[in-house]
Chains A and B, each alone.
Chain A
Amino acid sequence: MSLTLTGIHKSFPAENGAPPLPVLAGLDCQVPAGRLVSVVGPSGCGKTTLLRIIAGLEPADQGRVLWRGAELAGPSRRVGLVFQQYALLPWRTTLGNIELGLEMAGLPREERRSQAAEYVQAFGLAGFEHSFPHQLSGGMQQRVAIARTLILKPELVLMDEPFGSLDSQTRDAMQEFLLSLWQQKRDTIVFVTHNVDEAVFLSDEILVLSRRPARVLARLEVTQARPRDRTSPASNDLRRQILALLKQEQVGLV
């Protein structure tokens, strides 16, 4: 009962005849169901490509993506993806964006409205139901985007640096918000971030990727009980350990 990636290869064609650029070369990893797992790695190492492959937006050149024993091929409602740039439809209001997936699922209008209204409440968006995305703050836009994904009740939630463009206070608040959601539902989350503090604060488990082509350098359990203190010695030790691993990877890169 887990997400299992075996031997994932992916390279991108290079321009003017150069050999293709390998981004993932035989990546293996496993994410047990019901856990919140972060993926950290040097920038440009292929974290986003990895998520896009799991989400079915990009085919892998080789290798298999199994979720609960069955192959994932192509985007599916069982797998949700939250983007860093929110990717809200600018012509839809908060409600309209949250309802989007239910519309595709063919739910009748009243049913959609009532479900979306619940999420509006739970996500602290009351009073902004009829606002367009450009009228919302970054944190609110990301809450709309998360609501839009979670309303479909995906079994596996992929998040691609979802708080990367928020200011640090909003980011902390969003991390706590995400944890409170997850602690109610215990769905499986794969959380890509370049922010080590964030990974240490949120995760059950952290996968540290190597530089490109990416493979899993280390798999670290975070045993600290929640709620966590961001500045506890245990957090600091873990952070130091991850940063050391990442630093090694940067050698010869810069």
Chain B
Amino acid sequence: MRLGRWWLPLALLALWQGLCSLGVFPPYKLPSPLAIIAGFVDLAGQGMPPGQRLHWHLLYSLLRVGVGFAAAGLIGVPLGLFMGASPRAGRLISPLVEMLRPVPPLAWIPISILWFGIGLPSAGFIIFLGAFFPIVLNTIAGVTSVSPLLVEAVRTLGAGRREIVRKVLLPGALPNIFVGLRIGLGIGWMTLVAAEFTGVKSGYGLGYMIMTARDIQRPDEIMAGMAVIGLTGLCIDGLVRLLQRRLVPWQ
């Protein structure tokens, strides 16, 4: 039963391993799955560069994403609520949002380094930019999806503006807010690694680790690092989904 979902990836892995063992791909271009596992063990045990072990890289990356994502959520959700609840404010702000949105977060790296230097603030800022727009736009969509009938119903029960926002618009937008948070977190995580390629002061971070592995020609460690990024992204998304199920039980 459970194997049913996994047989295709497992078969591909076996094929990959077989082709590598037969020498079809040169190991310096495409290491075999087993070599990647060995690379993972090296990353975890010895570290890359030696002494800077995997869990520290992971921790630093998570810290940067945490800071940038938290800022994006703390600013993006209220701003989205405000823009969704007040059409006039929405019309005023949305051209600005629409103009900034298409600029890829990575294009902000040079100016961000100029502003914040190399370090946590500039990495956090890049992640913030990646996560911010999906959060704002989905929050707005969530607010506008709330039936005006519900707003009228609570007005007849004596609700003022603040109560309408707190008791109707926010909970009504919550499913969409979660969509925005999940997309934002995904983009933030993707952006992070690229931001770390351009340099980190502390010498830690998954992106930095991968670039170091490239410098000394360790494709096994590069790919093990990529796998760690993918699996971590999966785990974070799973956590957000868990939170969503707790906070949005009516769906």
Contact = CB atoms under 8 A, between A and B. Distances in A.
A89 B156 contact: no
Given A85-B149, A91-B248, A100 B167 contact: yes
Contacts of A83: 149, 152-153
Interface in B38-81: none
Interface in B233-250: 248-250
Contacts of A79: 156
A46 interface: no
B250 A90 contact: yes
A75 interface: yes
Contact of B158 (A75, A88, A90, A91): A75
Given A91-B171, A91-B174, A100-B167, A81 B156 contact: yes
A105 B156 contact: no
A105 B159 CA distance: 9
A76 interface: yes
B167 A103 contact: yes
Interface residues of A, number: 26
A75 B155 contact: yes
A41 interface: no
Contact of A89 (B152, B155, B168, B248): B168
Contacts of B11: none
A90 B163 CA distance: 16
Contacts of B159: 104
A134 interface: yes
B156 A80 contact: yes
B52 to A, nearest CB: 47
Contact of A87 (B153, B174, B250): B153
Interface string B146-160: 010110111111111
Nearest to A104: B158
Nearest to A81: B156
A148 B158 CA distance: 12
Contacts of A57: 152, 155-156
A101 B172 contact: no
B81 to A, nearest CB: 16
Nearest to A76: B158
A80 B154 CA distance: 10
A90 B250 CA distance: 7
Given A91-B172, A91-B250, A148 B149 contact: no
Contact of B150 (A75, A76, A89, A149): A89
Contacts of A80: 156-157
Interface in B167-188: 167-168, 171-172, 174
A140 to B, nearest CB: 16
A104 B155 CA distance: 10
A241 B153 CA distance: 35
A56 B157 CA distance: 12
A153 interface: no
Which of B157, B171, B172: most chain A Cβ within 10 A? Answer: B157
Given A87-B152, A91-B250, A104 B157 contact: yes
A104 B172 CA distance: 18
6 contacts: A57-B155, A81-B156, A87-B150, A89-B150, A89-B153, A104-B158
Interface of B: 147, 149-150, 152-160, 163, 167-168, 171-172, 174, 248-250
Given A83-B152, A91-B248, A91-B250, 17 more contacts: A55-B156, A56-B156, A57-B155, A75-B158, A77-B157, A87-B150, A89-B168, A89-B172, A100-B157, A103-B167, A104-B160, A104-B163, A132-B250, A134-B250, A148-B157, A149-B157, A152-B158
Top 5 closest pairs, chain A to chain B, by CB: A87-B153, A101-B157, A81-B156, A104-B158, A77-B158
